[in-house]
Amino acid sequence: MNSIDEPFGKFLFGRLEEILSNSDWKPKERIPKYRTILEDLFKSLTSDSPQYLNGLFSKMVYLFKSYTIPGNIRNYSHSLRKFANDVVHKADLIPTTVDDKRCAFELAEVISYFSHVSVPDTILNYYSDSVTEITLHYKQKQEKLPSYDFYAVIESIYFPPEDSGLNFCVLTCQTDSLGKISLKLFNNKNETDFGCDLSAFGRIAEPYQNIYVTEVVQSKSNEEEYYTTKNSFIVLEPDYLIDAKELSGCRQLNYRMPGKYEDVPLLYMLSRFLKSEVTDRIMVGNVVGKMLDDLITKRDSYDYKSSFESVMRDNSFGMLCIGNENGKYKRQNIQQIYDEAKLHESQLKSVLTHYKKQNPIVEPTFISSRYGLQGRLDVLVKHVDSNQKDIIELKSSRKYPKLELGLYPNHEAQTMCYDLLVTSVYDNRVGTSSILYSSAPIVDKPLRNVTEEKIISKQDLLMLRNRLYEVTVT
């Protein structure tokens, strides 16, 4: 963990004091600014991480797993992060003055702990009269309703009239465990277009099709009525397996809206008509993949030349095509592949040093009849002393995303699919999911973390999978 010095701690407190001094700002405007300070704090704390951490949540998970941090500091950090997210994404949430004071208290305590700087009196005076209410907040526990995961067969689909202004659909389903039920799917998108429209599933599905649904809650007023929550997944015909890499290929950067992605199901169909080619880029990828495998399996006996020769033998015709130029064999074409792939070696070795004491498994294959997915991971790291299982997906293209972007959306989607696959096999799985951009220099942190706080993106991803089933089968 990178240490926070006193000047930086005082600087962060100064920013907090500046926010509190502006009496024109309401809690709705202040609280997101607290989160920005929290982000800068954790960005500094994790700046010496060996891998790129995408987002505040992933930085917190990394720090709290790697170092012993008091429980109250963890709770304050997560509480502020989650509440600030809700303030930003839920237009109908109007935070109170007590909410504002609680968030300022949480931020001040976290800054003080990591910087060893006492909270300034001006900040203490702001929330000191609400300490009792703030303390009570942490003692209160929301009632958590039991949730259900189940397979079902659709009997009928109902949408309310268009002029009703209601955004949901109702599936009448038969289940083995709950009998005949009605399942209400909501459009969870808010005014800022944040969220996932699960009600759109009703326009994809048809009666008598099979579904798998998770995190469903029973209605308090009608025991035969259930509804999806913000954490629910719904999968159409889960026995139909779609490859994770092909699915993720339909998620692309939205160049009209920087930082956003768009899902294009027709790319899945288009890929069926594309002619496969043998290129030097593919061969470099094959060699880098073989290097990673051999570094893990052979360890001390690894030899780059042997790895390269193995790929040449397995792809002899392809190598011959690449070496051919106007009917003549040009050895320098093969030498270029050899030299370029060799450049990835130091990055691979550097990343793998962090897993020396663990048990990495090369190219395990998973299928999931829950999520209707299949895929072969590059590396699954099983930790020998815990239930932790880390996913590493290798990308060896010359072009890698800059740190500002972090990850390409199709690569992120592929890794999320692998997370779903591994979780469906290991129910209590904990661990990280990362993409290894092996062409990125060490200074650009080639190992990039996929944040665990991606539930909505996974919902969209499974809805995309459902649309692919619709266009290919029905």
Asked if 462 and 454 count as a contact pair (C-beta separation under 8 A), the reply is no
Q: Is 1 helix (H, G, I), strand (E, B) or coil?
A: coil
- Whole-number pLDDT of residue 63: 86
Residues 103 and 195 in one domain: no
* Gap between the terminal Cα atoms of the chain: 53
Residues 99 and 124 in one domain: yes
128 to each of 29, 79, 84, 116, 131, how far by Cα in Å? 21, 19, 21, 20, 5
Q: Single out the residue in 120, 139, 158 at which a domain terminates.
A: 139
- Whole-number pLDDT of residue 26: 93
Structure tokens that stand for 52 in this block: 């790129």
pTM (predicted TM-score): 0.78
Residues 130 and 220 in one domain: no
Nearest to 460 by CA among 417, 407, 405, 419: 417
In-domain check, residue 86? yes
- Whole-number pLDDT of residue 453: 59
Structure tokens that stand for 99 in this block: 């909410």
Whether the CA torsion 18, 22, 27, 33 is positive or negative: it is: negative
- DSSP-H helix ranges across 209-344: 244-248, 266-270, 280-297, 304-314, 316-323, 331-342
In angstroms, rounded to a whole number, what is the distance separating the alpha carbons of residues 445 and 440? Answer: 7
In angstroms, rounded to a whole number, what is the distance separating the alpha carbons of residues 248 and 263? Answer: 9
In angstroms, rounded to a whole number, what is the distance separating the alpha carbons of residues 20 and 124? Answer: 11
- Whole-number pLDDT of residue 322: 84
DSSP 140: -
In-domain check, residue 242? no
- Whole-number pLDDT of residue 456: 65
Nearest to 240 by CA among 474, 443, 440: 474
CATH number of the CATH domain containing 202: 2.40.50.140
Residues 181 and 229 in one domain: yes
Residues 218 and 117 in one domain: no
Task: Sort 455 into a burial class: Cβ within 10 Å, 0-12 / 13-18 / 19+.
Answer: middle
Per residue of the chain (474 residues), what is the pLDDT tens digit? 677 889 999 999 999 999 999 989 999 999 999 999 999 999 999 888 877 777 788 788 788 878 888 988 999 998 999 899 889 877 778 999 999 999 999 999 999 999 999 999 999 999 988 888 887 776 655 555 578 899 999 999 999 887 676 788 999 998 888 889 999 998 877 655 567 888 999 999 989 899 999 999 999 888 899 999 888 999 999 999 999 999 999 988 777 776 677 888 888 888 888 777 778 889 999 999 999 999 999 988 999 999 999 999 998 888 888 888 777 778 888 999 999 999 999 999 999 998 988 999 999 999 999 999 999 999 999 998 888 899 999 999 999 988 877 888 899 999 999 999 999 998 778 888 999 999 999 888 899 988 765 666 889 899 999 999 998 886
Q: Single out the residue in 82, 111, 139 at which a domain terminates.
A: 139
In angstroms, rounded to a whole number, what is the distance separating the alpha carbons of residues 322 and 57? Answer: 45
Structural domain including 26 reads 6-139
CATH number of the CATH domain containing 424: 3.90.320
Residues 126 and 152 in one domain: no
Q: Strand pairing of 225-228 and 359-362? A: unpaired
Question: How many folded domains does the chain comprise?
Answer: 3
Residues 108 and 167 in one domain: no
Residues 126 and 158 in one domain: no
Residues 326 and 443 in one domain: yes
- Whole-number pLDDT of residue 139: 62
- Whole-number pLDDT of residue 432: 87
Contacts (Cβ under 8 Å, ≥6 apart) of 422? 366, 377, 380, 389, 391, 429
Which residue's structure tokens are 């692309």?
Answer: 252
Residues 61 and 153 in one domain: no
Q: Is 444 helix (H, G, I), strand (E, B) or coil?
A: helix
In-domain check, residue 265? no
Paired with 447 in beta bridges are 436
In-domain check, residue 409? yes
Q: Return the number of other C-beta atoms located less than 10 Å from residue 93's C-beta.
A: 14
In-domain check, residue 465? yes
Q: Is 225 helix (H, G, I), strand (E, B) or coil?
A: strand
Residues 57 and 120 in one domain: yes
DSSP 233: -
In-domain check, residue 244? no
In-domain check, residue 130? yes
Residues 133 and 168 in one domain: no
Asked if 366 and 425 count as a contact pair (C-beta separation under 8 A), the reply is yes
Asked if 402 and 410 count as a contact pair (C-beta separation under 8 A), the reply is no
Q: Single out the residue in 80, 112, 139 at which a domain terminates.
A: 139
DSSP 398: S
Contacts (Cβ under 8 Å, ≥6 apart) of 3? none
In-domain check, residue 1? no
CA 189-237-367 angle, 5° bins: 100
